Amino acid sequence: MTVAEIVLKYVEALVWPSVVLIFLHRFRRGIGELIARTRSLATPAGNIEFAERAGELLDDAAVDQEERVLAPARRGVLRRLARSAESLQDGRILWVDDRPRNNIALVRLFESMGMQVDLALSTEEGLERLEVRSYHIVITDLERNGDEDAGNTLIKRMSETGIDVPVVIYSGASRLRAQADRRAFATTTGPDRLIHYVIDLMERARFA
């Protein structure tokens, strides 16, 4: 081996580590963010972090709705949320309720799963939104703005105008199941059940 060849090998051995170090230094922020995202999605620590945050929001929603979510149901819905992340991504919900503050925790939970949630305060506003944008799911309360059948009215008006979007009635009304329109996909007072229904509908939309 000639002196020139020996020198060239030493240069190559020195240059490549330098190139790698320069690359890592220049893109260190982006690489760090990528590693953090990967950890949050794929590692046990990330799963724990997700479960804790989602669990907190579910607990807050139960308080807002004055509903008790038992421990087995809580664990079940959190496991299903973790498994259904891909199905929920980019899902679109229209939530019609004259008291949106009561739903803040669930809205944040759905948004944390990559869903888009639009709010409407009245039946008319909800119908206007449905005319200009497509949604996968409509969530509505039963009683609204002094109208004890506002949720049913929304379903009826949607049917009359040919708007074919599944509706879930989510309300604390004691007469919910007895009075809800049968065209509703589901009715519930529990935040855990609402989450299950949203996942059901999104999976049906994705795999239909």
| Whole-number percent of the chain with pLDDT over 70 | 74
**182 vs 135, residue with greater confidence:** 135
CB 137 within 8 A of CB 93: yes
Q: Is 17's pLDDT higher than 70? A: no
Q: How far apart (Å, rounded) are the C-alpha atoms in residues 180 and 12?
A: 75
- pLDDT tens figures, 57-105: 999 999 988 889 999 999 999 999 999 999 999 999 999 999 999 999 9
- Residue 9: pLDDT band (50, 70, 90) is low
Report pLDDT for 42.
42
**pLDDT score recorded for residue 180:** 80
Buried b (16+ CB within 10 A) or exposed e, 47-76: beebeeebbebbebbbebbebebeeebbee
- Per the prediction, the chain carries an average pLDDT of 82
The pLDDT value recorded for residue 132 is 95
Closest C-alpha among 113, 117, 104, 116 to residue 57: 104
Characterize the bridge pairing of strands 186-188 and 167-170.
Answer: parallel
d(CA 198, CA 91): 10
Rounded to two decimals, the pTM is 0.76
Question: What is the rounded end-to-end Cα distance, in angstroms, of the chain?
Answer: 68
